[in-house]
Structure 1
């Protein structure tokens, strides 16, 4: 019995493979479409893609083209070929504006660029594109069932851009270029007033101000110590129970001690 089952399954596989190969080599577009649909429904997206690549031009602008383009786009998306998926989803939205798939295609086209968005340390061109495309989707379909996901994606991507900007500013502190750090962190706070990295930015500005002050020549020390004290106040005003409070208080004590020498003159 087991042997019969094995033979049956093998014959089914061989028949399926031979039908697929025939479809690939055939000039019959309808045959290719049927085979592509079968592979798509079976979740064999890479094989479906090979057939869709062959027949897509023939169906462009025709009634069947909408379905072909949608399945073609989904096949790319499910195989994580996001550049190509984005292109196909956008093609569906532009070529078939009255399709009931347009809203979904617009969302998935934008989401394809979200999937392409790299880690924050790399170039963020695709992140910017994803934000723009996702915002365009929200503007066009504010009541879409995908609106909540779209807004969450935009928030995530904006925070990624903010993290990159913050890390660039903080780097000046890391390399002990404290003047540049203060300026860069000031610019970051001004550019991203609602950023989740504001507390960190305020702390590193204080740290940079502190390091600059205690290592200053005597003629500039008093002014810089007072500037550091102002930076401390800004941090505590933003969050009185900041995670950096213990260390910041130790630095403030040093500032106050150093300022005494100027008060006694």
Structure 2
């Protein structure tokens, strides 16, 4: 499943934070090095960081925002710089530092009005690191946990609305991983191991797009294990909930090829659209 980079959305949601900050005097031409080691007044540092951010120099902006906090820890700008640093690191794709900055902000300002955005940045930082289903999915689970925490804490925010969409995508991705492993075991005739994976999809990710195939694969595995009643049950659930899918067609044909295990005519898959009359009812499960 492709995971599109969502930095534009994060930037758009940051607008409300960025433009609530008053303008500061004291703009100067400085580099990252001379803000890193030379003391500057808070206005000069903050504006320089904003300038770097506006020019797309995200890593430099993050470093200068950090310097605002380091040089002026008791200033009101320190709190604002923490969140801007977290966003800048995120925009630079330094997700580890973005998460660290966001968590530091939350530990110091847990009740701040911008706390939902800090949680959102943490969730996005994990989300952007999700890899394909052939690799370890630890980060996917961390993303799911972080997105879920955001929704639980701030369910009525615009950040939570986006998080809910991403939760569905991550769950589908994790189900895809279970299917990948299950098919691996099935190809090697390790039926019990395969059953465990396919059942996990049905029980933990039943609303995802992988459930119909998981039910069909269970039908295959149960027949291979010599437990036709379980195979019949899986095929029946598949027919009741996904009667028009290719997975039910395959499960139905598979059961028909095993004497004594055939499903009842009522569970037969629907005919193809070309052969079916316009008023043909869907088959019962």
Please tell me whether residue 40 in structure 1 is matched to residue 53 in structure 2: yes
Distance 1:60 1:138 in 2: 31
Distance 1:25 1:227 in 2: 67
Q: State TM-score, norm by structure 2.
A: 0.69
C-alpha displacement at 1:255, in angstroms? 1.1
Q: How does 1:157-196 map to 2 (within 5 A)?
A: 157-196=170-209
Residues 35 and 45, structure 2, Cα contact 8 Å, conserved in 1: yes
| CA distance in structure 2 between the aligned counterparts of 1:193 and 1:165, rounded to whole angstroms | 12
Task: State how far apart, in whole Å, the 1-side matches of 2:40 and 2:68 are.
Answer: 6
Aligned residue number for residue 56 of structure 1: 69
- Corresponding position: 1:20 with 2:31: yes
The equivalent of 2:132 in structure 1 is 119
Residue 3 of structure 1 aligns with which residue? none
Candidates 105, 108, 117, aligned match of 1:92:
105
Q: Distance in 2 between matches of 1:22 and 1:176?
A: 61
Q: Which residue among 244, 250, 254 is the counterpart of 1:251? A: 254
What does residue 135 of structure 1 align with?
148
What is the rounded CA distance, in whole Å, between the counterparts of 2:156 and 2:143 in structure 1? 20
The number of residues matched between the two structures is: 234
Partner residue of 2:92 out of 79, 83, 106: 79
- Report the structure, 1 or 2, having the larger helix content: 1
Deviations 1:73-101 (A, max 9, x none): 12111111111112212222332345442
Residues in 2 aligned to 1:237 and 1:21: alpha-carbon distance in whole angstroms: 63
Deviation at 1:142, TM superposition (A): 1.6
- Give the drift of 1:229: 4.4
TM-aligned CA distance change 1:184 to 1:63, over 3 Å: closer
Choose 243-252 or 69-78, whichever is displaced more: 243-252
In structure 1, the gaps of 5 or more residues are: 1-15, 214-223, 260-265
Q: Distance in 1 between matches of 2:181 and 2:174?
A: 11
* RMSD across aligned positions (CA): 3.1
What residue is the counterpart of 2:272 in the other structure? none
Aligned to 1:220: none
Larger Rg: 1
Aligned counterparts of 1:21 and 1:44: Cα–Cα separation in 2: 10
- Residue number in structure 2 paired with 1:216: none
Q: C-alpha displacement at 1:158, in angstroms? A: 1.8
* Rounded Cα–Cα distance in structure 2 between residues aligned with 1:238 and 1:106: 37
Larger CA deviation: 159-168 vs 50-59: 50-59
Question: What's the secondary structure of 1:146's corresponding residue?
Answer: helix
2-side partners of 1:245 and 1:42: how far apart? 55
